[in-house]
Structure 1
Amino acid sequence: MTAKPAFDLLFRNAATRAAASPVDIGISDGRIAAIAPRLACETVEIDLGGRLALPGFVDTHIHLDKAFLLGRCGHDHKSLGDAIRAVSAMKRDFTVEDVYARGARVIERAIVAGTTRMRTHVEIDPRIGLRGFAAVKALKRDYAWALDLSLCVFPQEGLNNDPGAEELLIAAMRDGGEVIGGCPYADTDPNAHIARIFDLAQEFDVDVDLHLDFDLDPSWWHLEEVCRQTERRNYHGRVAIGHATKLSALPPERLKAATARLAASGVAVTVLPATDLYLMGRDATHNAPRGLTAAHRLVADGVLCSVATNNVQNPFTPFGDASLVRMANLYANAAHAGINEFDACLDLVTDLPARLMNLRDYGIAVGNPADIVVLDTDSGPNAIAELPDVLMGFKRGRKVFERQRPTLFRP
């Protein structure tokens, strides 16, 4: 007599993106132990009734340290520079407790929206010092039960032009920084900024994630220098650039060449729809450009891409709820994605950002952590089309939240 497998938890009738029909998913010791139809086991069962199970959303680019700042400053920011200056003035007064409280609000919203992995960009400079970093390190520790948080430290307001920033950046890397970022367009010497960030990345053996080319003037850019440094340092697959809105302003032949350059050098692109749409094209009197790079089309041509949150309710983006299914839907609308491209849009907040972050244990597969979220729909395309509720989430097999389906009270 064959013994039944032992599971701690069993999902029945789960729709997945890999299977043509619903399957059962067995969980043991916090990991996925089996995936098959009609698994035999006596344990705690949750019948998903054909609803979609995903391995959780992955947010590659968010700013926890400067979220929820609306009301602290007048909101009349008509450009990226205005937004940077507004936050710069405020962050001198940020405390560890303040950053922690605002970051926690974002993380809790992200958790109940189905996010299980996240990379936060943390500003390091003489105005904020290491206070924001200390707060986000505490958030990483305190929310590890529901979300894996990776810390990318970067100088938002430049490096060569900001005495003391580099020393603080190095201190943060020595104290737990996991990725290093940069903001070349804020520096008086952008190429030197890029080179120094790569120097530090190699010194600490970490990946690079840069804010880059965030405007609509295609007559100049820093993309080529980033690709050149990536190849020179043998950093293929370890570099990402965020925003890259200049790509949206390129004519077809130049875009084709830029796409080939990114693909060849292994530089990934993160598109940030809410911020990119909000800040780009604001000086247009009519027929305003979208400023949104078509990530899913870059993917089709060999470039690794993701779609992410960026900012939540601050001068850069005065709205947001940290929901990546909503962000993917917004992206699909603005990028004119067709129905046959909806699956590709869902990839941009799941499998592809996991690859961008070099996560080796992501996905609904035997042996991986049981990080699973359940959506109130039955397929990947419908996750984009319907904006369904995220009904429940599990981290390493433990339930971390549940949302009740609404009930209609008919007369």
Structure 2
Amino acid sequence: MPPPKLTDRIKSIQNVRLAQSSSTWDIQIGYPDSSKDGSITTITPPSSEDISNPPLALPSLTHPHIHLDKAFIHSSPEYAHLLPSSGSFQEALSFTTNAKQQFTREDLLRRGEWLLAESVSAGVTAMRAFVEVDSAVKFTCLEAGLALKEQWKDSCEIQIACFAQDPIFSGEFGEQNRSLVEEALCNYPGIDVVGTTPYVESSVEAAKRNIEWAIERALQLGKHVDFHLDYNLDPERGALVWHVVKILRESRWTTNSTRKRVMLGHCTRLTLFKDEEWERLAREIRDYDLPVSFVGLPTSDLYMASSPSASSDQCPHHRPRGTLQVPEMIRRYGLDAVLGVNNVGNAFTPWASPDPLFLACLGVGIYQSGTQVDAELLYECVSTRARKAIGLPSASGLTLRPGDVPDLILFYDRDETGCEVSRPRYSVADVIWDPPARLNRDVLRGGRLKPAALPGWSLDTRYQFA
């Protein structure tokens, strides 16, 4: 399946609404270099107000943390014997290990295209995609991921994270896994990120070696580093985040020495922190100028991250869950935190959608964040903040400005009911509280429009082409 063919370059978009503005505006886009995407040059009052139903123009969406190779395993008949039976974390690890034995390039490309097509149509124009390298799959997932990165580059900027899901310092295959990751990092220049999972190691000492190795190699190779970290709700287990901060500090990984960033995913153990622990963590990150971001992954965390004291047999109604309180981390402690989809359609997360707006909408309930200002923050967490967290140039907020990359979503009020009724979304809050269907989202990447494959869809006259 080929990626979508984008339109010619757009030079202006007439009569659109912007965040935090009741007026309509014209957006002009310039292309100073024929080989590169454009940028917004000016935003001016409309030259004409003859166009009805002006859409709301917002920055596009970002996946800061998503697994490309494990997507939609449950949608493929060949994996029917690996559907969840208990829903436990250990079962997910086991079933995924078994599924990986069946991975082929054709299968990986097919499921990867499903994920990319649904993401791009939702408005995602950038993502960090994890692909696994280990003794089971060798380089098969990585090579498929790199092929998709190239094929879909016009529609979506894909960062490839070479990911060690399995132990690299313990277990029967630890040394082989680490050797394969080393080989991948040396031989595949398309890799952008070193990713590991310290908590799968057999001991705290091995987990710390995992962290130290990943930070050292990422610094040496000039790549981002991304940890799946502290994925538990066990108050008896110490948080490894302190060791990450310690090694980053000792290795002099600061915003002054490298532009590469550090991402910490899951971190559900941190939800047990007291206020003084949060203040200490924020202070150490700030004082040592560490470019650290946290990504909350609610759809996976709520499904998987249960307390070790919870037992469906002894106390069936006591099932606490944990996921990072992202708005609180931003507002109260000044930490950089975003939201990510993580997994879709596999044993780790058999539910939910690749649409980041679904995730932001879910956040309204999870975080009890129901104000309009809350909605704008949640949108940023799957858009501009998420894009910045993975090290890409990003707008500073949701109101578009000259100089911004024209990666945009225009939210329309087309009839999606078949009843000749349409309901407009006038604000960011309207978009977050009840996300519109994909047919109501026009997606621009670099100033070029992704056409919608829908009956009766045609180019809006507000688009003027270069």
Alignment TM-score, normalising by the size of structure 1: 0.90
Output aligned runs, 1:368-379, within 5 Å.
Answer: 368-376=404-412, 377-379=425-427
Q: Write the deviation string for residues 28-62 of structure 1: whole angstroms up to 9, x where unpaired.
A: 33423433233559xxx995833221221011100
Change (3 A) 1:251 1:367: closer
Structure 1 residue 50 and structure 2 residue 68: aligned? no
Single out whichever of 321-330 and 254-263 deviates more from structure 2.
Answer: 254-263
Change (3 A) 1:33 1:328: closer
Paired position in structure 2 for 1:178: 192
Contact kept, 8 Å, 1:25 with 1:32, in 2: the verdict is: no
Q: Following TM superposition, by how much is the alpha carbon of 1:305 offset from its aligned partner in structure 2, in angstroms?
A: 0.9
Structure 1 residue 397 and structure 2 residue 428: aligned? no
**What is the one-letter code of the residue matched to 2:54?**
G
- Distance in 2 (CA, whole Å) between partners of 1:164 and 1:372 is 43
How much identity, in percent, do the aligned residues show? 24
Contact kept, 8 Å, 2:356 with 2:382, in 1: the verdict is: yes
Aligned to 2:42, the other structure's residue is in SS state strand
- Distance in 1 (CA, whole Å) between partners of 2:374 and 2:52 is 26
Q: Following TM superposition, by how much is the alpha carbon of 1:80 offset from its aligned partner in structure 2, in angstroms?
A: 2.1
Q: Following TM superposition, by how much is the alpha carbon of 1:130 offset from its aligned partner in structure 2, in angstroms?
A: 0.3
Q: 1:214 aligns with which of 220, 231, 241?
A: 231
Structure 1 residue 229 and structure 2 residue 277: aligned? no
- Distance in 2 (CA, whole Å) between partners of 1:405 and 1:49 is 20
Q: Following TM superposition, by how much is the alpha carbon of 1:344 offset from its aligned partner in structure 2, in angstroms?
A: 1.2
Contact kept, 8 Å, 2:24 with 2:45, in 1: the verdict is: no
**What is the one-letter code of the residue matched to 2:29?**
I
Q: Write the deviation string for residues 308-362 of structure 1: whole angstroms up to 9, x where unpaired.
A: 1100100000023210001111122112113142211111111111211121255
Paired position in structure 1 for 2:381: 348
Q: Following TM superposition, by how much is the alpha carbon of 1:306 offset from its aligned partner in structure 2, in angstroms?
A: 1.0
- Distance in 1 (CA, whole Å) between partners of 2:430 and 2:283 is 31
Contact kept, 8 Å, 1:266 with 1:303, in 2: the verdict is: no
Contact kept, 8 Å, 1:31 with 1:366, in 2: the verdict is: no
Give the aligned CA root-mean-square deviation in angstroms.
Answer: 2.5
Change (3 A) 1:37 1:191: same
Output aligned runs, 1:331-346, within 5 Å.
Answer: 331-339=363-371, 340-346=373-379
- Distance in 1 (CA, whole Å) between partners of 2:107 and 2:449 is 29
Paired position in structure 2 for 1:3: none
Output aligned runs, 1:10-409, within 5 Å.
Answer: 10-17=12-19, 19=21, 21-29=23-31, 30-38=37-45, 49-70=53-74, 71-161=80-170, 162-174=174-186, 175=188, 176-188=190-202, 189-219=206-236, 220-236=238-254, 238-264=261-287, 265-281=290-306, 283-284=310-311, 285-300=316-331, 301-339=333-371, 340-360=373-393, 364-376=400-412, 377-390=425-438, 391-402=441-452
Aligned to 1:88, the other structure's residue is in SS state helix
Contact kept, 8 Å, 1:77 with 1:83, in 2: the verdict is: no
Single out whichever of 106-115 and 81-90 deviates more from structure 2.
Answer: 81-90
Q: Following TM superposition, by how much is the alpha carbon of 1:250 offset from its aligned partner in structure 2, in angstroms?
A: 2.6
Change (3 A) 1:48 1:350: farther
Residue segments in structure 2 that go unaligned for 5+ positions in a row: 1-8, 32-36, 75-79, 256-260, 413-424, 458-466
- Distance in 2 (CA, whole Å) between partners of 1:314 and 1:250 is 30
Q: Write the deviation string for residues 268-323 of structure 1: whole angstroms up to 9, x where unpaired.
A: 10000100011122745224323111111111121111101100100000023210
- Distance in 1 (CA, whole Å) between partners of 2:402 and 2:387 is 17
**What is the one-letter code of the residue matched to 1:34?**
T
Contact kept, 8 Å, 1:153 with 1:169, in 2: the verdict is: yes
Of structures 1 and 2, the one with the larger relative CO (CA 8 A, separation 6+) is 2
- Distance in 2 (CA, whole Å) between partners of 1:108 and 1:48 is 30
- Distance in 2 (CA, whole Å) between partners of 1:21 and 1:211 is 43
Count of residue correspondences: 398
Structure 1 residue 9 and structure 2 residue 23: aligned? no
Q: Following TM superposition, by how much is the alpha carbon of 1:228 offset from its aligned partner in structure 2, in angstroms?
A: 0.8
- Distance in 2 (CA, whole Å) between partners of 1:279 and 1:244 is 12
Change (3 A) 1:168 1:46: farther
Change (3 A) 1:230 1:22: farther
- Distance in 2 (CA, whole Å) between partners of 1:119 and 1:337 is 26
- Distance in 1 (CA, whole Å) between partners of 2:248 and 2:455 is 47
Paired position in structure 2 for 1:4: none
Change (3 A) 1:215 1:25: same
Contact kept, 8 Å, 1:77 with 1:315, in 2: the verdict is: no
Aligned to 2:69, the other structure's residue is in SS state helix
Q: Following TM superposition, by how much is the alpha carbon of 1:20 offset from its aligned partner in structure 2, in angstroms?
A: 5.3
Change (3 A) 1:165 1:47: farther
Q: Write the deviation string for residues 359-404 of structure 1: whole angstroms up to 9, x where unpaired.
A: 1255744344321111242222222112223421111222113376
Residue segments in structure 1 that go unaligned for 5+ positions in a row: 1-6
- Distance in 2 (CA, whole Å) between partners of 1:138 and 1:48 is 42
Change (3 A) 1:38 1:295: same
Contact kept, 8 Å, 2:230 with 2:266, in 1: the verdict is: yes
- Distance in 2 (CA, whole Å) between partners of 1:48 and 1:403 is 23
Single out whichever of 22-31 and 96-105 deviates more from structure 2.
Answer: 22-31
